[in-house]
């Protein structure tokens, strides 16, 4: 009987910890003003044939910073605004017209292979860009 109680208690504690983690992450992805502020490094996700197997690979892409309703890159900057919940629209500079999706689970921003197309959802596919917040 004691072992059952320990297992049930462990399951409850893990469930609570997971729930609290999700609640804390939800605070990271608020409005474009403060919830996504930070510096992002991006990679393009792709797949390459290596040794007869399709292997996921990445190559460095753009880096940018978001502060409030603006963003900046090495070559300029512009404005960013939240649309339709988790969609971010960038205007100006080398990211003009880009549409990104903020993953509510991780705070990662995803862009399609053609950054002017609608967002891909919660993951990056072949030739799509994944941007991880680094600070």
For residue 48, give both structure tokens.
Answer: 């390459």
The predicted pLDDT at position 20 comes to 34
* pLDDT on residue 8: 35
Dihedral of alpha carbons 98, 99, 101, 107, sign: positive
CA 73 – CA 75 distance, rounded (Å): 5
d(CA 94, CA 107): 22
Return the pLDDT at 120. 67
Residue that is written with structure tokens 């007869």 in the block: 52
* pLDDT number for residue 58: 85
Residue 71 CA to its chain's centroid (Å): 15
The answer to whether the beta carbons of residues 129 and 61 sit under 8 Å apart is yes
The whole model's pTM is what? Answer: 0.66
The predicted structure's pLDDT at residue 92 = 93
Element (H, E) at 7: helix 2-26
- Provide the pLDDT for residue 98: 92
Mind listing the pLDDT tens digit of every residue in the chain (135 residues)? 555 534 333 333 334 333 333 333 333 333 444 489 999 999 998 888 888 888 878 888 899 999 999 999 999 999 999 988 889 999 998 999 999 999 877 889 999 887 777 766 667 778 889 999 998
What is the rounded CA–CA span in Å between residue 65 and residue 87? Answer: 17
Contact 93, 77 (CB under 8 A): yes
């Amino acid at each position: 009987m004691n072992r059952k109680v320990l297992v049930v208690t462990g399951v409850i504690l893990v469930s609570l910890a997971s729930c609290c983690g999700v609640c804390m992450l939800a605070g990271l992805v608020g409005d474009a003003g403060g919830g996504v502020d930070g510096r992002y490094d991006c990679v393009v996700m792709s797949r390459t044939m290596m040794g007869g197997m399709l292997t996921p690979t990445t190559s460095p892409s753009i880096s940018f910073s978001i502060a409030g309703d603006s963003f900046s890159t090495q070559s300029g900057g512009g404005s960013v605004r939240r649309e339709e919940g988790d969609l971010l629209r960038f205007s100006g500079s080398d990211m003009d017209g880009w549409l990104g999706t903020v993953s509510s689970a991780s705070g990662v921003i995803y862009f399609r292979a053609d950054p002017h197309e609608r967002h891909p959802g919660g993951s990056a596919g072949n030739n799509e860009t994944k941007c991880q917040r680094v600070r």
